[in-house]
Amino acid sequence: MKLDKASPIGVFDSGVGGLSILKALQAQMPHEQFVYVADSSHAPYGERDADFVQQRAGHLLQFLREQHQVKALVVACNTATALAIHNMRSAYPELPLFGVEPAIKPAASLSHTQRVGVMATAGTLKSEKFQSLLNGLQTDVTFVLQACEGLADAIEQQWQHADNKAVSALCKKYAETMGAFGTQAGQMDVLVLGCTHYPFAMNELHALVGPDVQIVETGVPVARHTHKVLVDLGLLQTSGVGGVQLFATGDVQNLQHAAQMWLGERQEPWHVATLT
């Protein structure tokens, strides 16, 4: 299937977390149309096995390519990138595919204490892709890895419960488990958010680790790379009004509320279609 410059860019995640990537993509490419899918009836991916994540990723890719003829796809989920993107590239070799991964390399260069914290899902931290990324770094930095079981799901569900008490409690639990944050020797002075859901807890995490600790996430670097590749391929839209279509496989309420909060007033009221 030929790639068309006028076609939209597909973006998917297990839930609302990928909106943090979508926001950066929109800022970098304001004239583009996007189709975002939250696989919310199967979220979070980080606590699923590899076969399941690969099956869901393949299903969503097929939907985006065949129903919306997307010209590129951003896998806005660290776990799906780690476990499924190689299969997706094999299935659609002509399609530009972009994944996300914990930004441990730039974090290492930012650290003065040579100690960096990484919060991610268990699925991401255990994946061969992440271990290869970690082992390939030529650095003396020590990485403190923390699997944050339940945090992505708590972030996903916070709008249903109209509060973020569960999110705050889990952030506190995992930050304290990791050890001391700060700028002194032996402390972590950089924190990597290795799940696209976690930027939704940025305020809570900043309050826990302190103002001197840099928190690194992946939205802007992914958006810049996507922009560059589309320019090189002659597929970037440089005029017209951009927009977003939103789809969810489960309850649409979380995605509606998250889009209103995260993406702002650009296209309200947000309409979310249900995808089976």
What's the pLDDT tens digit per position in 18-32? 999 999 999 999 999
Cα–Cα distance for residue pair 228/49, rounded to 1 Å: 33
Given 77, 116, 208, 223, the catalytic residue: 77
Residue 262's contacts (CB-CB under 8 Å, 6 or more residues apart) are 16, 19, 20, 23, 200
Domain that holds residue 128: 104-216
Q: Are 191 and 215 in contact (CB under 8 A)?
A: yes
**For the chain, what is the domain count?**
2
Residue 2 lies in a domain: no
Same domain, 28 and 47: yes
The radius of gyration of the chain's CA atoms, rounded to the nearest angstrom, is: 18
Same domain, 116 and 192: yes
Which two three-digit tokens encode residue 184? 């002194």
Residue 236 lies in a domain: yes
| Amino acid 275: pLDDT | 81
| pLDDT less than 50: residues of the chain | 267
Report pTM.
0.88
| Amino acid 66: pLDDT | 93
Same domain, 132 and 148: yes
DSSP conformational letter for 141: P
| Amino acid 266: pLDDT | 52
Looking at residue 11, its amino acid is V
Please say if 171 is a catalytic residue.
no
| Amino acid 162: pLDDT | 64
| Amino acid 270: pLDDT | 64
Domain boundary among 216, 249, 266: 216
Given 195, 209, 230, 255, the catalytic residue: 195
